Amino acid sequence: MAPEQSNRPFSRVTTARILVVDDEPRLVDALASLLRSCGYDVTEAHGGRHACELIDTLRFDLVLLDLRMPEVDGFAVMAHLANQQPECGSIVISGESSFTAVSRALRRGALDYVRKPFDPEELIATVKGVVGKQSLLKAHEDIQVRLEKSEALHRYIVNSSPDIVFMLDAGGRFCFINSKIEILLGYKPTELCGQHFRNILDDRDFAKGTNALNAPDISADNPRTLEIRLKTRGSRRATRHFEITAFPIDPQNWTHDHNTGGSGSGQRACYYGTARDVTERKEAEAFINFQAYHDLLTRLPNRALFKDRLELAITHARRGGQQLAVMFLDLDRFKIINDTLGHAMGDRLLQAVTQRLESCIRKGDTLSRFGGDEFTLLLPSVHGHEDASQIAKKLIKTLKAPFLLGEHEVFVGVSIGIAIYPEAGDSMDQLIQNADIAMYHVKARGKDSYRFFSESMSIDSTNRLHLERDLRLALERDELRVYYQPQVCASTNRIMGLEALVRWQHPERGLLYPRDFLGLAEETKLIGQLSEQVLDQACRDVGQWIRSGHKDLRLAVNLSPIEVEHPRFVETLMERVEASRFPPGNLEIEITENVIMNDLEQISQKLRELANIGVRIAIDDFGTGYSSLNYIHRLPIHTLKVDQSFVKAIRGGADDACIVNAIIAMAHGLKLEIVAEGVETDKQLQYLRTLGCHQVQGFFYGPAQPATDIDKLLVQKSIRTPVAG
């Protein structure tokens, strides 16, 4: 029967003048055609402004309109209609389904509310009903019209509202409440009607709740909104958070002196309100706040919270002339366990270590996870070295017992550096840095022990001090060299890009590679100056090749965490690029996963700024970092670089190269480019080609070379004869 009915033409009705209003022309045309097929005289208005102009010049019996329209929305059109043609009715056809919007539309005079997408038969039936009702409205008194409106509104609220809907009498007692109260709080509407609303208020919000309805400016157009906690049935401690919206009922619009209907108390309603459950939102806010100051894996305070507490402890110690201690703890052998058993086991080990460390500290001490396998401990009140020594010995002893991770029994130790305030520093940064220095001295002398910081300590050995001096001179004497390793199209052997790699032409030691001096450059804060020199030279070289005809040639540069985390990272990078007149679209910066995860929010913003001006973003050594893959969706990443350790695993086929398979498949799914590093054999190249790897680089095509050699390769346009076979 249903299909047959749906195919019947709609019956003709008495002609009525109808105005159809929407900002979507196709929807206006569809509505107009549907209504005209039923015999209505239809006028079309494209948008609220056009509708107001038509209302000023033409008379209508009914207006069908949307709520959300640019410039002039549906509420403004209804207000204009009420002023110009108060006898004309309106029907809202909208995708907005919130209770607030529906309630507001009905209070503004809407006779009915149809949700998008609408059913044509239902819409025509609604229009017919409203047109018929309009004829009745003209024959009845205004009081009957208001009664029908209020009954329609009450019926909609009761049947459709996702929130608790209630009415209060003048004394604050419930005289109506819908059944949602039982779902959310466990109370039956019948047991609350006649009871004062304070009976379900949490004690902590008693004053706020009882004073809520006494505001002098509260009205239907200016309702009172507040967040309070309500008790659930059966436990005075169990509470949920609600957002309450309430306002007094206008006696002219509500003239009922008797039962409100439904679960009513028979008392006259003076206040109307809704209560929306926001418990999940409040819990999310609390979690976000916790996340900002705690490490989610160990639940310990993070670096930011530790520094806040240390700063406060220093202030108290300075005022009271007291001492405090800062310990820097680094787990011994953790990296080996993590690399051998995997990150999941590494996480479990960190959690187990945290439990043991917490058992050794005193109330008032602060243990934090500083990052990776590093922890810091604040002892806010110590009487000297002996107090700190006792704690350090307990920490070392508690970690000596083996940890059981699944079927594996593992052992870790801890190296502890200690800085005492004020002898080892009088500022937060000094104490943390000096405790870190003392910890490195422990590691240099065999680990699994503790040492106090002293002025005689130095992070670097004599050789490292000499190397630092030479590095500073190298920056002044222009001893750094830029070598380039081609990034080659796996299918055509065409050079797609060049990765810039730094070398140091030491006057005595010969050519030094990055592993020999980059770590020192980061520790001594020379990495910024070093990177500037390398970037300037690379931009000049590659820029010249681009201008000579290799327009699509890409320059890839590695950036250190110190550079990326600097507040002026984006500005500084672009100043160097612009000074070299290098096109941003040909630049690709390579950063590691760990750099991103250290401060996801800040790094995300910086990368988006670079992407907006054309700079490409590549994740270097992908798969070796400890992170969440979720960031790939949130960041403007263009390229994933498969780490050479995974490429080396390509020996016997798919079983040996499962990680490479997974990374390349994921990159294809995310529509990212792939560059495989460390390709050394034809077998590796052929395997990567079968997987659809876009580009490769490595000794198969030769080592990184100076600019003069690259110039010759670019003339060939492709690498014809690989070095290795």
Give the model confidence (pLDDT) of 135-147 as tens digits: 766 666 566 667 7
Residue 14 pLDDT more than 70? Answer: no
pTM attached to this predicted model: 0.43
| Burial of 214 (C-beta count, 10 Å sphere; 0-12/13-18/19+) | exposed
Average pLDDT over residues 307-336: 91
Question: H helices of 58-210, where?
Answer: 74-84, 99-107, 120-139, 142-160, 180-185, 189-192, 206-210
Residue 628 pLDDT more than 70? Answer: no
| Model confidence pLDDT, tens digit, residues 491-522 | 888 999 999 999 999 998 899 998 888 877 87
Asked if residues 129 and 112 have their Cβ atoms less than 8 Å apart, the reply is yes
Q: CATH homologous superfamily of domain 474-703?
A: EAL domain (3.20.20.450)
Element containing residue 711 per DSSP (H, E): helix 707-716
pLDDT band at 2; cut points 50, 70, 90: very low
Residue 721 pLDDT more than 60? Answer: no
Element containing residue 272 per DSSP (H, E): strand 271-277
Average pLDDT over residues 615-637: 76
Q: CATH homologous superfamily of domain 294-452?
A: Reverse transcriptase/Diguanylate cyclase domain (3.30.70.270)
Asked if residues 611 and 646 have their Cβ atoms less than 8 Å apart, the reply is no
Residue 589 pLDDT more than 60? Answer: yes
What rounded mean pLDDT belongs to the chain?
Answer: 84
Return the CATH fold of 2-158.
Answer: Rossmann fold (3.40.50)
| Model confidence pLDDT, tens digit, residues 446-470 | 677 899 988 777 544 456 678 888 9
| Burial of 584 (C-beta count, 10 Å sphere; 0-12/13-18/19+) | middle
The set of residues, in sequence order, having a beta carbon less than 8 Å from that of 545 and lying 6+ positions away, is: 553, 710, 711, 714
Element containing residue 62 per DSSP (H, E): strand 62-65
Instruction: Please tell me the distance from the alpha carbon of residue 408 to that of residue 369, in angstroms, as a whole number.
Output: 24
Would you state the pLDDT for residue 625? 58
Kindly report the number of other CB atoms within 10 A of residue 248's CB atom: 19
Residue 115 pLDDT more than 80? Answer: yes
- Residue 591 has which token pair? 């950063």
CATH code 3.20.20.450 region(s) in the chain: 474-703
DSSP secondary structure string for all residues of 159-173 = HH-SSEEEEE-TTSB
pLDDT band at 214; cut points 50, 70, 90: confident
Would you state the pLDDT for residue 76? 92
- CATH match of 161-283 with 3.30.450.20: yes
Question: In Å, how far are 55, 131, 190, 268 from 254, measured between CA atoms?
Answer: 30, 25, 22, 9
Instruction: Please tell me the distance from the alpha carbon of residue 295 to that of residue 298, in angstroms, as a whole number.
Output: 6
Strand partners for 409: 404
CATH code 3.30.70.270 region(s) in the chain: 294-452
Output the CA torsion sign for 109, 112, 115, 119: negative
